Amino acid sequence: MTDFKRISPEQAQALRDQGGVVVDIRDAHSYANGHITGSTHLDNQSLPDFIAAADLDHPLIVTCYHGNSSQSAAAYLIHQGFSDVYSLDGGFELWHQTFPQHVDRDDQQ
């Protein structure tokens, strides 16, 4: 079994360009206020369906606020059978500073 890898926003963007999937584990309100374009919000309710429908061999980038909680979530996803998992160093905060043009907001709050 492999371990997850920590990557920078620039490396994550390159993976996204190659079809990598981004999942955001922050709370729903924070996600609605701003998230990486195209990312999926994951919480305890949506996690089982996400895992059931996912391609376990597809690159998966996990983000949180600052890059700490995403490491635990990435390790968990490895244990659930994902083989190519990354934790975004600096989390959404660093992503937002690096790629503000790749941030979306949900209008319905």
Q: For residue 55, give the CATH number of its domain.
A: 3.40.250.10
Q: Which two tokens stand for residue 20?
A: 């990598």
**Is 86 contained in some domain?**
yes
**Is 109 contained in some domain?**
no
Residue for token pair 């890898």: 5
Q: Kindly write down the DSSP assignment for every residue of 7-43, as one continuous string.
A: E-HHHHHHHHHTT-EEEE-S-HHHHHH-EETT-EE--
Show pLDDT as tens, one digit a residue, over the chain (109 residues): 469 999 999 999 999 999 999 999 999 999 999 999 999 999 999 999 999 999 999 999 999 999 999 999 999 999 999 999 999 999 999 999 999 999 999 875 4
Catalytic residue, candidates 21, 62, 64, 74: 64
**Is 53 contained in some domain?**
yes
Q: Identify the domain containing residue 98 by its residue range.
A: 5-104
Q: Which two tokens stand for residue 60?
A: 């998966």
Number of folded domains that form the chain? 1
**Is 24 contained in some domain?**
yes
**Alpha helices, DSSP H, located in 27-99:** 28-33, 47-53, 69-79, 91-98
**Is 68 contained in some domain?**
yes
Question: Would residue 71 show up in a list of annotated catalytic residues for this protein?
Answer: no
**Is 39 contained in some domain?**
yes
